Structure 1
Amino acid sequence: MKRRDFIQLSGLGIGALMGASIPVMGNAVPLEHLLEPGIDVATKKRLADIALNAAKSKGATYTDVRLGRYLQQYLFTRETKVQNVVNAESYGIGIRVIANGTWGFAATSNVTPEAIAKCAETAVAIAKSNAKLQKEPVQLAPQKGVGEVSWKTPIKKNAFEIPIQQKVDLLMNVNGAALKTGAAFVTSNLFFINEQKYFASTDGSYIDQDIHRVWPTFTVSAIDRTTGKFKTRDALSSPMGMGYEYLDGLASEKIAAPNGLVGYRNSYNMVEDATLAAKQVKEKITAKTVQPGKYDLVLDPNHLGLTIHESVGHPLELDRVLGYEANYAGTSFATLDKWKTKSFNYGSKLVNIVADKIQPNTLGKVGYDDEGVPSKEWDLIKDGVLVNYQAIRDQVAILGENESNGCCYADHWSSVQFQRMPNVSLKAGTEKRSVSDMIKGVDKGIYIIGRGSYSIDQQRYNFQFGGQLFYEIKNGEIIGMLDDVAYQSNTQEFWNSCAQLCDKDDYRTFGSFFDGKGQPSQVSAVSHGSATTRFNGVNVINTGRKI
């Protein structure tokens, strides 16, 4: 039975697209509850062993157990008011088994020895029932057990330990700075997540992980009250696999960019960015509308990350390539026949894209995935050629491999784990080059910053992307702001137009905090790194009503 068939037989649901909703998974709890330590590792191991033994006694040939405590804190504000503060916790256990060559899964929030044993028995019963429809047994790549180990996001400040008042004060300062600088409206938000996950399997792994993520963001709006025209600009922050230290805004973490712009890496000055955003939205109202045509595009990492996500990350998910996601999310143009040739030009020779779960401070960084596979890095596109996909233990045999890429994930203890996108990043250039150096070489171009609206077809091939800020480049200089800009291309044409890369000193990450996939839908967090990159001769359209 394919994973697609298993999901269909286990009860389907529909979910939201990437970023379309803010999922709160758990029950509202008092703030102090978020700071409680939870059960100790010895107790976790004892509970996991109950599940492993119960499943084996009922005929399971493989079992893995995920005991999870998931903490969330979200703060929402608008202008001078706090709109909401959400504190949530969810705790339970998910048990996955193979019996009669078939997957089975069950989960419970009743974390008692008796309930765990019953849950394991249920998972085996489901697997045996599903086996009646099984055509081929599950081929699970071998994975050596790692014994008893632990891993924790190397945070400096636990965001849950920072007082709510301090966080509210930060957001009020952000809003106040934007309003003082001329914004008409401003909303600001803080998102904090802590996944406390314990994994155990019949391979001999007992893995305790403590994973932290943070995302500060805002939207600033300006209005021309004589015409009613308004413009917005979102934060140029990125979600990060860090603690509250990301909000320290240390000057040493800034990356200078042309036209007074600032890039942020590993720390973020939210007030500074909101102040600049208020100035820029007023400028956007009077910005010149773009003339459609072919332009060389200089794409900032905060913008390019989304293009990487949609045109490389998703189409190179092996389950999508195989058609497992067709009902909900579509398929992929990057089919196995293209990979098998070992010569399919996904992009120019400058394009080297890697997948990984190891980049420091990224959303995807963990010690082990949700199948107990140690994190690693691997090539997806090398010198422009498609060389691999993202695959997990029950997929890699299709590629003739016997080792998982370590990119299996479930967003909750009650969710079955499946293949999810790791960090997918474009390697920086090897020649010393700043953004200013790059712009000097552009005769007719547009410098694009920040994520905007986008559209891409169900095979992840034909697409259109907007942005937050657009600056016209003429004869090697930025001459002013543009508006109504979007570019159109197809994935192969676009990546083959990649002509120049800035070096590692400009390398930064973009992130998606709530990337949706699967039925029932799950969310995951993923980062995409790159340096500022130039693409030549890309078609630009005008998205406004008048030219």
Structure 2
Amino acid sequence: MKRRDFIQLAGMGAGALMLPVSSLANTITAEELLVPGLDVSQKKRLADVGLNTARSNGATYADVRIGRYLNQFVITRENKVQSVRNTESYGVGIRVIANGTWGFAATNEVTPDGIKKATERAVTIAKANSKFQKEPVKLAAEKGYGEVSWKTPIQKNGFEVPIKEKADLLLNANAKAMEKGANFINSIMFLVNEQKYFASTEGSYIDQDIHRTWPNFQVTMIDKASGQFKTRSAFSAPVGMGYEYLDGKAQDKIQGPGGITLYNKSYDIVEDATFAAEQAKQMISAKSVEPGKYDLVLEPSHLWLTIHESVGHPLELDRVLGYEANYAGTSFATLDKLQSKTFQYGSKAVNFVADKVQPGSLGAVGYDDEGVKTKQWDLVKDGILVNYQAIRDQVHILGQGESHGCCYSQSWRDVQFQRMANVSLQPGKTQLTPDQMIAGVEKGIYIVKDGSFSIDQQRYNFQFGGVLFFEIKNGKIAGMLKDVAYQSNTQEFWNSCAQVCDERDYRMNGAFNDGKGQPAQSNAVSHGSATARFNGVNVINTGRTL
């Protein structure tokens, strides 16, 4: 393999490798992705084996998760299909409380005997760990829901679409970018189906069928004369939808400031790849930014990552309590700030909600992975910190009696724990479009799409880049910029938020591969917002060297 080929394939493949595919996943055929798994009655009988075994061995609580996790990757480069992979991971995870202590075990032997042995092992682990447990586990009350089900409301199952059709779509997008002069383009289609069954000793038997879709690409343009190059990634969003997301409906296109085309609810990958090649060329010749203070107008495809890192993560209760310190840091948003009831996380324009029910979002499910019915709740209200994200064995620390419903495991073989919900900035209540917002800015920068970032271990001091940058002068777009990044701290930044566009501009983006925990797990989560304005933010030039 040539070095150039290796670098290009590795760049796209690295993202795929970070996605939640179990190391115990088996490679299967595309046809096998559509083979039905066990029916609900069979799952219930198997789950009852685990629940009854747990009780008879002294557990005071138990839950059983039977999971079938299906994935499909289609990866292309220029005019070639590089890889097609279909995987299945199937097994059972059993979690128990015995002697006031958690125990967990998992098996890929989905039989009565396999589940019985794994459950006995989970109880043994809990009893062994209880010797070191200082306080017994305190679970918030949760009613049993009986036999219920929930499905992602998809219109078209991506697994039913022939691989050739998906490959042809990606190759067509590649070809359009190459016609516009792109030197390289990698594209990928990633489809996920989680078939999850949850049962607990509290009387819940919950069957869920969850779908996610993510089309993506990277277009690279090289200026041979100068040796400079720029890469523009797709304006797609990973979504909790079916293949209908790729329909590219005209009504779902948004003409943004600076003449760019953005997408909402559906996506046109061929059109976007064409625009990407043209914009990557413009990025090379763009004017390098002058460092200084600017008013920033941040588009939702960019702002989602800033929300994720500076709001979503620091408001996870386990991070606040220091449980994540060894792997991914703690949080500046400590309990005393919540207890004060006056901590100004942001300006009065800032309202953040956590949400596990939002249609089309990556995190949307009917019930979380410990059987709690999902919901929406406030995190920051009119700028004031009012809550965190917490699960059943945490909420008592907050003096609350009800789980927030944000417990998740990436697979049957991993224990479930507190994960980020969809965390979104609510749109403004006054009618305001991005163009109207820009009209009020004298010296500013309009930023589209997320780029590189850095944030400290308390999720406080940070730096964010982007993909497309447009200079704003006297209320008008004055051309493209490059080498832009902004620096701030979380509280200062969100308190500088002066305006948020109304709900007509609200869009979601997100991450398929949000990492957390030891052993590490991956979570899919969306973040929504409308375009927002931040006044007097420090901007640096990333292209200048000392």
TM-score range, shorter-chain basis?
over 0.9
Partner of 1:503: 502
Distance (Å, rounded) in 1 between the aligned partners of 2:218 and 2:113: 49
How many Å apart are 1:27 and its aligned residue?
A: 1.1
Please state how far the C-alpha of 1:179 moved relative to its aligned partner.
Answer: 0.6
Q: Residue 71 of structure 2 contacts residue 87 of structure 2 at CA under 8 Å; is this kept in 1?
A: yes
Aligned to 1:298: 297
| Residue 149 of structure 1 pairs with residue 141 of structure 2 | no
**Secondary structure of 1:295's partner?**
strand
CA contact (8 A) 1:19 1:513 kept: no
Q: What's the counterpart of residue 380 of structure 2? A: 381
Structure 2 counterparts to residues 190-269 of structure 1, below 5 A: 190-269=189-268
How far is the alpha carbon of 1:22 from its aligned partner? 3.6
Alignment partner of 1:174 is 2:176: no
2:332 touches 2:458 (CA, 8 Å); kept in 1? yes
Contact 1:79 1:185 in 2 (8 A): yes
Aligned AA (1:24)? V
Contact kept? 1:428, 1:507, Cα under 8 Å: yes
Matches of 2:436 and 2:426, distance apart in 1: 18
The corresponding residue for 1:21 is 18
The yes-or-no answer on 1:319 pairing with 2:318 is yes
1:366 match: secondary structure: coil
1:457 offset after TM fit, Å? 0.2
- 2:438 aligned residue: 439
How many angstroms apart in 1 are the aligned matches of 2:216 and 2:341? 41
Match of 1:104 in 2: 103
Q: What is the number of equivalent residue pairs in this alignment?
A: 531
Q: In the alignment, is the contact (CA less than 8 A) between 2:20 and 2:523 conserved in 1?
A: no
Q: Hey, what's the Cα distance between the residues in 1 that align with 2:15 and 2:370?
A: 24
Q: Deviations over 1:477-535 (max 9, x none)?
A: 00100000000000000000000111100000011001100000000100000000000
DSSP 3-state at the match of 1:495: helix
- Equivalents in 2 of 1:162, 1:18: separation in Å? 23
Deviation at 1:19, TM superposition (A): 8.2
Residue 162 of structure 2 corresponds to: 163
- CA–CA distance in structure 2, aligned partners of residues 49 and 153 of structure 1: 26
**Where has structure 1 moved over 4 Å in runs of 4 or more?**
17-20
- Equivalent residue letter for 1:210: D
Q: CA RMSD in A?
A: 1.1
On the 8 A contact 1:19/1:514 being kept in 2, the answer is no
Within-5 A mapping of 1:496-535: 496-535=495-534
- AA in 2 matched with 1:106: A
Unaligned stretches of 5+ in structure 1? 1-16
* Matches for 1:400-419 after TM superposition, within 5 Å: 400-419=399-418
Residues 347-367 of structure 1, C-alpha deviation per residue, up to 9 Å, x if partnerless? 000000000101110001000
Distance 2:16 2:404 in 1: 26
Matching residue's letter, 2:458? Q
Amino acid at match of 2:246: L
Equivalents in 1 of 2:117, 2:368: separation in Å? Answer: 26
Amino acid at match of 1:276: F
Task: Determine whether 1:333 maps to 2:346.
Answer: no
Q: Which amino acid aligns with 2:264?
A: R
Secondary structure of 2:129's counterpart equals helix
Residue 271 of structure 1 corresponds to 270
On the 8 A contact 1:364/1:527 being kept in 2, the answer is yes
Structure 1 position 20, deviation (Å): 7.5
Whole-Å Cα distance in 1 between the matches of residues 35 and 160 of structure 2? 11
Task: Give the C-alpha shift of residue 264 in structure 1.
Answer: 1.1
Cα distance per residue 1:427-467 (max 9 Å; x no partner): 00111111111110000000000010000000000000000
Secondary structure at the aligned position of 2:93 is classed as strand
Q: Between the two proteins, what is the percent identity of the paired residues?
A: 69
Determine if contact 2:486/2:539 at 8 Å carries over to the other structure: yes
Structure 2 unaligned spans of 5+: 1-13
Shift of 1:134: 0.8
- For residue 60 of structure 1, give the secondary structure of its aligned residue in structure 2: coil
Aligned residue runs from structure 1 range 383-398, under 5 A = 383-398=382-397
| Residue type at the aligned position of 2:263 | Y
Separation of aligned partners in 2, 1:192 and 1:517: 22
Q: Is the 8 A contact 1:18 1:516 kept in 2?
A: no
Distance 1:528 1:516, change over 3 A: same
Question: Could you tell me how far 1:24 is from its partner in structure 2?
Answer: 2.8
Q: Which amino acid aligns with 2:21?
A: V
1:7 aligned residue: none
Q: 1:499 to 1:19 in 2, by over 3 A?
A: farther
CA contact (8 A) 1:301 1:529 kept: yes
- Asked whether the equivalents of residues 142 and 403 of structure 1 are also in contact (C-alpha less than 8 Å), the reply is yes
> Which residue of 1 is the match for residue 94 of structure 2?
95
Q: Does 1:139 align with 2:138?
A: yes
Q: CA deviation at 1:21?
A: 2.5
- Deviation (angstroms), 1:256: 2.1
Equivalent-residue separation in structure 1 for 2:15 and 2:458 (angstroms)? 16
- Is 1:361 paired with 2:356? no
| TM-score after normalising by structure 2 | 0.96
CA distance in 2, matches of 1:71, 1:132: 39
3-state SS of the aligned residue for 1:67?
Answer: strand
2:202 match: secondary structure: coil
The CA distance in 2 between the partners of 1:82 and 1:124, in whole Å, is 48
What CA deviation, in whole Å up to 9, does each residue of 1:240-279 have, x standing for no partner?
0000000000011112212221221110011111111111
Contact 2:20 2:410 (8 Å CA) reproduced: no
Distance in structure 1 (CA, Å) of the matches to 2:270 and 2:501:
28
Q: Note if contact 1:19-1:516 (Cα within 8 Å) is conserved in structure 2.
A: no
Q: Deviations over 1:204-233 (max 9, x none)?
A: 100000000000000001011011110010
Counterpart residue type for residue 335 of structure 1: T
Contact 2:426 2:529 in 1 (8 A): yes
Residue matched to 1:52: 51
Deviations 1:300-329 (A, max 9, x none): 000000000000000000000000000000
Q: Is this contact kept in 2: 1:30–1:87, CA < 8 A? A: yes
CA shift in 2, pair 1:82/1:249, >3 Å: same
Is residue 2:34 matched to residue 1:43?
no
CA contact (8 A) 1:316 1:332 kept: yes
**Which residue does the alignment assign to 2:537?**
538
Classify the secondary structure of the residue corresponding to 2:344: coil
Secondary structure of the 1:350 match is: coil
Query: Which residues of 2 match residues 179-190 of structure 1 at below 5 A?
Result: 179-190=178-189
Separation in 2, partners of 1:173, 1:297 = 35
Give the match's secondary structure for 2:138.
Answer: coil
In structure 1, C-alpha distance between the alignment counterparts of 2:545 and 2:415, rounded to whole Å: 49
| Paired residue type of 2:282 | E
SS of equivalent to 1:52 = helix
State whether residues 497 and 535 of structure 1, in contact with CA within 8 Å, keep that contact through their aligned partners in structure 2: yes
Q: Distance in 2 between matches of 1:460 and 1:529?
A: 19
